[in-house]
């Protein structure tokens, strides 16, 4: 593993921890500049192709999903770890389906469900775009459903 500071190829592992999704976090130190940094390793499992509304297909993009959720959670009391956990759960669910293709709607529904539990304001922000709530009445109805449930 190259040092991200000086690009030296020789680093040593100080500590290793495992998470429940099979990932490995390693704390490292560069042998040249002595800077410390962390790396995260996770197994690469096949994720299905995402079938968009228009019928086109694209590779599942974890970073794209993360960006969308971060935008919905902007300026909300949602930690980066909670967003990472939600994205990890969605990715894991997709891998466990064992399907070659999955409609984008399935992923959107997983995000909606996760945000509903995580932060209701972030949920509404995401729902406005995802559920195409294009007027105040539709948004109000969705808020009323949240308040009832």
Who's near 57: CB < 8 A, 6+ residues apart? 49, 50, 51, 101
Total residue count of the chain as it appears in this document? 149
Question: Strands 24-30, 36-41: parallel, antiparallel or unpaired by DSSP?
Answer: antiparallel
Task: Specify the pLDDT at position 117.
Answer: 94
> In the numeric block, which tokens belong to residue 134?
């294009």
Rounded to whole angstroms, the Cα distance separating 73 from 124 reads: 10
pLDDT tens-digit readout, 39-92: 988 776 678 999 999 999 999 999 999 999 999 999 999 999 999 999 999 998
Task: Specify the pLDDT at position 63.
Answer: 94
User: How many helices (H) does the chain have, and how many strands (E)?
Assistant: 5, 6
pLDDT tens-digit readout, 79-133: 999 999 999 999 989 988 889 999 999 999 999 999 999 999 999 999 999 888 8
Task: Specify the pLDDT at position 69.
Answer: 97
């Amino acid at each position: 593993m190259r040092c991200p500071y000086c690009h030296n190829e020789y680093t040593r592992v100080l500590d290793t921890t495992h998470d429940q999704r099979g990932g490995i976090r390693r704390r490292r130190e560069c042998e040249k500049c002595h800077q410390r940094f962390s790396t995260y390793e996770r197994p690469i499992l096949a994720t299905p192709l995402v079938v968009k509304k228009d019928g086109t297909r694209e590779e599942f993009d974890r970073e794209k999903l993360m960006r969308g959720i971060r935008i919905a959670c902007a300026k909300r009391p949602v930690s980066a770890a909670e967003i990472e956990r939600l994205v990890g759960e969605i990715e894991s669910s997709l891998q466990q389906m064992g399907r070659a293709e999955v409609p984008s709607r399935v992923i959107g529904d997983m995000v909606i469900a996760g945000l509903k539990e995580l932060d209701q304001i972030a949920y509404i922000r995401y729902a406005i775009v995802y559920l195409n709530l294009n007027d105040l009445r539709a948004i109000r109805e969705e808020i009323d459903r949240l308040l009832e449930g």
